[in-house]
A and B are shown apart, each in its own frame.
Chain A
């Protein structure tokens, strides 16, 4: 073996040990750098992907377009009617919250973001979005859609961020069940079926399929209270507590646009 090869192997060994000893702060910084490097590819790839996706949609026959137009018109009328009703509810809701002094917790500053893609990591449920520290995004900010909670920011670069979804085992959310006093901790599972497990419930909890679950908003937590989290699919008592299987409120498989909660209004 030549001297240069031996020297190279020594350098490799030193580098390998140095890489293994990196601390979490340095790793986060390096991860941010890597996100920055892949950001242009992810962004342009996402544009190409959505363009290809819309190509098929654009090739509709006149009959299909007419049907689509009529469906959209009917939906528009329905939404207008619902909106009128919701405006009254909003007024009542605002009034009640004002009375209770919770107004500041009920309204958020939201930053819209496009989903660039679902990460290919098999054991983690994460997505990448097209907002980063340049848009005021920071780790642990909640991410939502109009349907409910999506997850939290787990890594941030200049103009791209990673979101840890609520179906990930590491994304733990304090939650309460609608119409009951039951509270527990929701988290995803390693068995990747897109479900969540709500644990630490009472063994005697009377939960029915279809009951809605909301974030509990515990003090010191990162998720505000009252955001829809999921729906109860089943409940069973365990040795020490009760566990409910939840289906996420937001359809995490087809996310296209999300909102990051950057703070209260």
Chain B
């Protein structure tokens, strides 16, 4: 029941993250953007058990795919398949990371957010290069990939601790690390 409520809260956070990231100003001088969706995604898949986290990954893929949807000549330029495979794969990896660190940790969440953002932008760039042709891998492109990833590292702890404060009761029963006790 509590996992269900957490799942719904996380689902509601997805469109909010999209709206808020659009309102955030670009980072000069290369107009890099701050992406919140990967940060919310990482929190969700690490806080939820395996099966719900996969459903959450699918929902994230759908939202991200629709946000970036551009129809060219009747075809979606970046179809949903790329995002579905990407987010499902990362959900499994982050679940394994969560298991390896005996529960959800803010450091893993921050690192995961950065890596997911980096790989997401990298894969989108590669797919666009295949679709449109050319491979303009210049410094501005690299910075546009790296700056949002670095920004994710800084934003991830804020989201992590805010959500823990807001919904502690739901998260306690899922993947948060258990506090060490003297008896253990």
Contacts and interface: CB of A to CB of B under 8 A. Distances in A.
Q: Report which residue of B19, B24, B62 has the largest number of chain A beta carbons within 10 angstroms of its beta carbon.
A: B19
Nearest to B143: A192
A28 B67 CA distance: 10
Contact of A164 (B70, B136, B140): B70
Contacts of A31: 66-67, 69
B130 to A, nearest CB: 12
A190 B76 contact: no
Interface string A1-44: 00001001100100110011010100110110010011001100
Contact of B31 (A8, A30, A189, A192): A192
A193 B80 CA distance: 27
B21 A120 contact: yes
A41 B24 CA distance: 13
Contact of A123 (B15, B36, B128): B128
Contacts of A27: 65-66, 69, 71, 76, 80
Contacts of A45: 19-20, 23
A128 B79 CA distance: 21
B81 interface: yes
A38 B141 contact: no
Interface residues of B, number: 56
Contact of B23 (A5, A117, A253): A117
Nearest to A6: B51
A247 interface: no
How would you classify the secondary structure of chain B's contact residues: helix, strand, loop or mixed? helix
A240 interface: no
A12 B19 contact: no
A5 B74 CA distance: 38
A193 B26 CA distance: 13
A189 B134 CA distance: 11
B32 interface: yes
B55 interface: yes
Interface of B: 15-16, 18-24, 26, 30-36, 50-51, 54-55, 58, 61-63, 65-72, 74-77, 79-81, 84, 88, 121, 124-125, 128-129, 132, 134, 136, 138, 140-141, 144-145, 148
22 contacts: A5-B51, A9-B51, A12-B51, A27-B76, A28-B69, A28-B71, A31-B67, A34-B67, A37-B15, A41-B15, A41-B16, A42-B19, A116-B23, A117-B22, A118-B22, A119-B67, A120-B22, A122-B32, A122-B33, A122-B145, A154-B70, A191-B140
